[in-house]
Amino acid sequence: MFQALYDKTLSWAQHKHAKRYLSLISFADSSVCPISPLVMLVPMALAQPNKAYSFALRTTLFSALGAILGYCIGYFLFEAISPWLETTHYWENYLSAKSWVDEWGVWAVLIGGFLPIPYKIFTIAAGSVSMSLPLFLLISTLGRGARFCFVAFLLKIGGEKLETRLRQYINEIVWGVVGLLVFFGLYHFLKG
């Protein structure tokens, strides 16, 4: 079932506008969109391993530009969006990110840029606490760049062998991820 979707995703990664889509998703992910740029970066790097670092750098650049928008949302619009934010599942994440930013400053942004969690909550939190914008941009670029270049490195060294294995086991991988999401969803539901 998922092999056909996987194959389709790899074909999209070779589309003539794939770089534009990667740029757009990377920008939006750091500010407003819940879709990770990895959904484009991974298949693009698998389809063209010799361009993996180029794709990672593009992802980093547009993610950093999107982080500026997220920062501005937190800095200029936080009071306007906070009532809405409180009604979403992002509120608890935002409070955690804000606490980290309050306590750890730029280190929280650096770590948040590398971790596989919604980065937009860190960009908005950094803006809401008025972190230095130039320092925020530098640290944001370093954190996001480290993450995306690490992914590119893994995909580049895995190459065709990794792509073949992924295609072979994609159904098991996706069902495993779905199972984990259901487990954590039930755990969170029963805990709360």
Region for 130 from its dihedrals, namely left if φ exceeds 0, alpha if ψ lies in -120 to 50, beta otherwise = left
CA distances in angstroms from 33 to 48, 55, 72, 121, listed in the order given:
26, 19, 15, 11
Per-residue pLDDT of the chain (192 residues; tens, 9 = 90+): 556 665 666 677 778 899 998 999 999 999 988 888 888 898 888 888 889 999 999 999 999 999 999 999 999 999 999 999 899 888 888 999 999 999 999 999 999 998 878 899 999 999 999 999 999 999 999 999 999 999 899 888 887 776 666 666 666 766 776 777 777 777 777 876
The pLDDT score that the predictor gives to residue 184 is 72
The pLDDT score that the predictor gives to residue 185 is 74
- Residue 157 tokens read as 């060294």
> Using alpha carbons only, what angle is made at residue 164 by residues 163 and 165, rounded to the nearest 5 degrees?
90
The pLDDT score that the predictor gives to residue 14 is 76
> Is 27:62 a contact under the CB 8 Å cutoff?
yes
Write the burial class of residue 52 (CB in 10 Å: 0-12 exposed, 13-18 middle, 19+ buried).
Answer: buried
Q: Residues 147, 149, 154, 155: what is their CA dihedral angle, to the nearest 10 degrees?
A: 120
> Is 83:55 a contact under the CB 8 Å cutoff?
no
The pLDDT score that the predictor gives to residue 42 is 86
> Is 58:41 a contact under the CB 8 Å cutoff?
no
- Domain residue limits, the chain: 2-159
The pLDDT score that the predictor gives to residue 6 is 59
